[in-house]
Amino acid sequence: MSKKIGLVMGSDSDLPVVEKAIATLEEYGVPYEVHVYSAHRTPVPAAEFAKNARANGFGAIIGFAGMAAHLAGALAANTTLPVVGVPVKSTHLDGMDALLSTVQMPSGIPVATVAINGASNAALLCIQMLAIEDKELADKLDAKRAASAETVLEKNRKVEEKYNK
C-alpha cells in the first residue's frame, strides 16, 4: 500500500482548488487525507498534524493557503517529510500575496512551491516522490505522459494540416 498524501488547507474556502489535487490523486489511486487546519486560526492542530504525519503513514504533505499564506511553511517547520505549497488566489492581489508568502521560505525549512492554484501539479509532484520507490506508480506516470504527448501531437497534426499548404 502506497503512503498517504496529506492535503491541508487553511480554510474550507480553498476547497475548489484542493479538489483539483484530489482528482489527480484519485486518477493515480494514491491514498490521501483532507484537513482544514489554519496556520493562524488553528495553529496547534496544524502543527500536531505535521508532527505526527510520518508516524501516521504519510509520504508527503500539500499545504494550500491564500493571503498571508504561512500554512505550508508552518507544516514544514514541524516535519521532515516533503511539503509542497499551493498558493491560493483569493480576492486581492491575484494570488501574488500567497505566492510570495509560500515560496520565500528562509534557508533550512524548504517548501516546494508550485504555481498559484497549481493543485494538480502539487499532487503530481507528490506522486512522483512516491514513485521513486514504487515501480507501478512510475509506470502509470510514464503511460500518462505518453498519452498526453499523443494528444498534443494530434492537435499539431490538425493545425499543420489546416495552415501548412
The residues binding ligand RP5 (CB under 6 A) are 9-11, 13-14, 38, 65-67, 88, 90
**Closest separation in Å from C-beta 49 to ligand RP5:** 15
Nearest residue (CB) to ligand RP5, 28 versus 64: 64
User: What is the closest distance, in whole angstroms, from the C-beta atom of residue 160 to ligand RP5 in the complex?
Assistant: 43
Closest CB to ligand RP5 among 59 and 87? 87
Whole-number Å distance between alpha carbons of 73 and 100: 12
Residues 6+ apart with CB under 8 A from 12: 36
Please, which residue, 38 or 121, has the CB nearer to ligand RP5?
38
The sheet carrying 4-9 orders its strands as 32-36, 4-9, 58-66, 83-88, 112-113
CB of 71 to ligand RP5, least distance (A): 6
Rounded to an integer, what distance in angstroms lies between the CA atom of residue 115 and that of residue 38? 20
Q: How far apart are CA 97 and CA 99, in angstroms?
A: 6
Least separation, in Å, of the C-beta of 42 and ligand RP5? 10
Q: Which is nearer to ligand RP5, 9 or 84 (CB)?
A: 9
Cβ proximity of 98 and 65 under 8 Å: yes
Q: Which is nearer to ligand RP5, 50 or 67 (CB)?
A: 67
Say if residues 121 and 99 touch (Cβ distance below 8 Å).
no
Q: How far is the CB of 109 from ligand RP5 (least distance, A)?
A: 19
